[in-house]
Amino acid sequence: MVPETATPGPGPSPRRVALILAAGVLLLAAGGAIWFVRFAGEVRRDPALIYREPATLDKLLKRAEEAERAGDRATAIATYRFVADVGQGTSPELAPYIAAARAGLNRLEAPDIRPGQPH
């Protein structure tokens, strides 16, 4: 005996499924666009925002220390100053990175100042 194949019951039409999927895609695209515009606005107001992560500051400090050990004083000073400036006036979790950068500047006897500040 041949088994009967079940005939599918009435389901949503392919057109309706396509419309639902298209609406979902449009919602996701609109949400992504809104998020991107907001993030771009934040970065425009604060260009250092993307560097203010402990992992990024840690990598920068390691580069500065390597430059210092290699005798590349200018690169070490520039990197230490960058870390000190980026982290200045931010969250307390970045304080150790700022302290390490200032200590590096002190080792190199480079004042922790920005261009245009009085000595």
Q: What angle do CA 68, 51, 108 make, to 5 degrees?
A: 20
pTM of the prediction?
0.59
Cβ atoms within 10 A of the Cβ of 109, count?
8
pLDDT digits 0-9 by tens, 39-49: 888 777 776 77
- Count other C-beta atoms under 10 Å from residue 68's C-beta: 18
Considering only residues 74 and 6, tell me which one the structure prediction assigns the higher pLDDT: 74
Q: Which of 8-17, 46-55, 93-102 has the highest mean pLDDT?
A: 93-102
pLDDT single digits (tens) 42-95? 777 776 777 778 888 999 999 999 999 999 999 999 999 999 888 777 778 888
Please give the pLDDT value at position 103: 92
Mean pLDDT of 26-36: 93
**What is the pLDDT, as a whole number, of residue 115?**
55
